[in-house]
């Protein structure tokens, strides 16, 4: 059963991992220049590098329908640049999942596939998509919403070790980012992590650099470009899918099974 996933960032990668290992044929659609922060666990990196691997799953950049099917035959997850989702008309997926996490709907609608799912705020269950998945950390994370919307974006990241907004790094200005540190490095508060043009980017707290935008990326002022985990002892978390991403993946799978049952369809 074919699934199209819009977006290939770290949360989308968690969803893809669950669906791929459950036996679905998954195709990821991305923009030309993805801006993932947690790049070590984001399939979107294949857009730049041609191929990437996350938790023993290979994701490969493809250009056309023929290459999509060849990737599936080899148990590889294909990813392609297709912001407008034009490939949908050719491969006709049974399921479409919007994992862009843009906090707004960037064009997903119920006409795209028999089963449609949207993650986070910006979608109305029953109108834009069949199901909305709650993405805010806390008691409701992963909740399946059949009517209405997910919780509004607060702009404040989820807490880790009692620290929330301080762990996120934002660009001080518009320009080209050049990293000094790399993902997995231990960093100190006020230590230079990189530069936007000639303007230094400083660490906000001490911890492990869990995410950092790609070198050479043209960033806008106040754009999110990094993420520090205050738990220095958990460096390995930088290289594995997060608990939040896995929860969302499980919720998407649950939602798919619910809709298939309602439609009296078998999964495979």
**What pTM did the predictor assign?**
0.94
pLDDT at 20: 99
CB 77 within 8 A of CB 16: yes
- How much is the pLDDT for 89? 97
Distance CA 82, CA 42 (A): 17
Which pLDDT does position 159 carry in this prediction? Answer: 63
- Which strand ranges, in their side-by-side order, compose the sheet holding 192-196? 199-202, 192-196, 175-179, 218-219
For the chain, the first-to-last Cα distance in angstroms comes to 6
268 residues of the chain, pLDDT tens digit each: 999 999 999 999 999 999 999 999 999 999 999 999 999 999 999 999 999 999 999 999 999 999 999 999 999 999 999 999 999 999 999 999 999 999 999 999 999 999 999 999 999 999 999 999 999 989 999 999 999 999 887 766 666 656 667 889 999 999 999 999 999 999 999 999 999 999 999 999 999 999 999 999 999 999 999 999 998 888 999 999 999 999 999 999 999 999 999 988 876 6
Architecture of domain 2-153+243-262: 3-Layer(aba) Sandwich (3.40)
Residues forming CATH 3.40.50 domain(s) in the chain: 2-153+243-262
Amino acid 164: pLDDT: 61
Q: What's the pLDDT at 233?
A: 82
Residues of the chain with CATH 2.40.50.100: 165-230
Strands (E), the chain: 2-6, 25-30, 51-54, 57-61, 77-81, 95-98, 115-119, 131-133, 144-145, 168-170, 175-179, 186-187, 192-196, 199-202, 207-212, 218-219, 224-229
Tell me, which fold does domain 165-230 have in CATH?
Answer: OB fold (Dihydrolipoamide Acetyltransferase, E2P) (2.40.50)
- Helices (H), ranges, the chain: 10-21, 46-49, 65-73, 88-91, 243-262
């Amino acid at each position: 059963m074919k699934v199209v996933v819009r977006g290939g960032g770290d949360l989308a990668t968690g969803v893809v991992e669950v669906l791929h290992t459950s036996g679905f044929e998954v195709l990821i659609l991305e923009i030309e220049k993805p801006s993932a922060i947690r790049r070590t666990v984001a399939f979107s990196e294949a857009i730049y590098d041609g191929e990437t691997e996350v938790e023993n799953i290979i994701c490969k950049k493809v250009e056309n329908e023929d290459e999509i099917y060849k990737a599936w035959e080899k148990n590889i997850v294909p990813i392609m640049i297709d912001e407008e989702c034009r490939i949908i008309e050719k491969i006709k997926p049974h399921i479409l999942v919007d994992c862009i996490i843009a906090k707004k709907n960037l064009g997903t609608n119920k006409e795209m596939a028999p089963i449609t799912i949207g993650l986070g705020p910006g979608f109305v269950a029953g109108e834009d998509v069949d199901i909305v998945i709650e993405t805010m950390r806390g008691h409701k994370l992963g909740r399946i919403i059949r009517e209405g919307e997910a919780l509004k974006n607060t702009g404040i990241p989820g807490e880790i070790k009692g620290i929330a907004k301080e762990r996120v790094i934002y660009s001080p200005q518009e320009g080209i980012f050049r990293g000094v540190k790399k993902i997995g490095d231990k960093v100190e508060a006020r230590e230079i992590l990189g530069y936007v043009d000639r303007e230094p980017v400083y660490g906000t707290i001490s911890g492990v650099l869990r995410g950092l935008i790609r070198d050479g990326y043209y960033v806008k002022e106040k754009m999110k470009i990094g993420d520090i985990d205050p738990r220095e002892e958990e460096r390995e978390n930088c290289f594995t899918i997060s608990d939040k991403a896995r929860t969302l993946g499980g919720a998407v799978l649950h939602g798919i099974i619910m809709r298939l049952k309602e439609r009296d369809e078998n999964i495979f």
